[in-house]
Structure 1
């Protein structure tokens, strides 16, 4: 499998909304991300930190995306990823449409089935089972698409849907049916098999797998970071995201990836 992809290489940064006592720290990080040439800014949809001090500072996802829509002018943005369990699908579609309009058409609707039990317990959602949450996501996706078609005014564009996950039976089937972008939480070792499974689902639903943008998260710094990006690009991944958290939001890795992206096209 090679990188014969029609999708451009894009760099994302996940500005994790944790450990920032003041929102101004996140606002500054978004500004810096746009200034250094990042293509996409993501946050995440949780209510508590995922690592570090478990009761540390944390902010809500979608309120923040509305602020980013006004603050930024070039980058796309979204959640990596929205938890399907926390909002009615029709409401989520309307929130996405509204944020899309605020930004002039730059929202990515990232979505997944949810997994962080503390969020559910503390905020009164039923955690259930992993299979049940995946079934709920499968039921929500067509409802979201149907609501997009009913909203007045309509979204400014066909809002891209990013689905996060790599479960072979259910998640990758949903990717084949609904996703513009697949964020697989994969590395160079695990990606080829998952991509093969996705291709099988695409064949079953009559879709060209090449139409789906492939996205992965990267960790590390320096040469190791860029070597992993090179390896994944050769396999067909074209969107690369690094995660950073507060209060400092160190964008050195994101800036290195932007230089790497630009060097490939120069």
Structure 2
């Protein structure tokens, strides 16, 4: 069995504030040191946390690339990248670059997205 963790990317993921890169990095390094198999980031334009108002969210691919360069062992991946938000050639290039930075540890999670503010935007 392999166990991973989804990293905080928006205010509702953290201790009542928007997580910064240092927060995300620290948790990823802690997860790696603790022996977890993977760390995951979301890829959204805006966070819609259920019954709460929409909120900002860190840019997933920027964070993912930084994690790929910062960590050494854990798998890094997206939960989940909406294929409709970027041209397929750009997304393929982003994935190939992040996979190269990670030394082959990238898992690219792709999905169709969901109706809401992101598609309206």
TM-score by length of 1: 0.41
- What is the aligned partner in structure 1 of residue 93 from structure 2? 94
Unaligned runs of 5+ in 2: 12-17
What does 1:163-242 align with in structure 2 at a 5 Å threshold?
Answer: none
Q: 1:21 to 1:109 in 2, by over 3 A?
A: closer
Aligned residue-pair number: 114
TM-score by length of 2: 0.85
Residue 81 of structure 1 aligns to a residue whose secondary structure is strand
More helix by share: 1
Q: Which has the larger radius of gyration?
A: 1
Q: 1:23 to 1:56 in 2, by over 3 A?
A: farther
Q: 1:50 to 1:35 in 2, by over 3 A?
A: farther
Deviations 1:64-103 (A, max 9, x none): 1110110100000110111111111111111111111111
What does 1:4-15 align with in structure 2 at a 5 Å threshold?
Answer: 9-15=1-7
Shift of residue 54, structure 1, vs aligned partner:
3.0
- What is the aligned partner in structure 1 of residue 113 from structure 2? 114
Shift of residue 55, structure 1, vs aligned partner:
4.0
What does 1:1-266 align with in structure 2 at a 5 Å threshold?
Answer: 9-19=1-11, 20-51=18-49, 53-122=52-121
Measured in 2, the distance between the counterparts of 1:41 and 1:79 equals 9
Measured in 2, the distance between the counterparts of 1:57 and 1:21 equals 10
Measured in 2, the distance between the counterparts of 1:38 and 1:117 equals 33
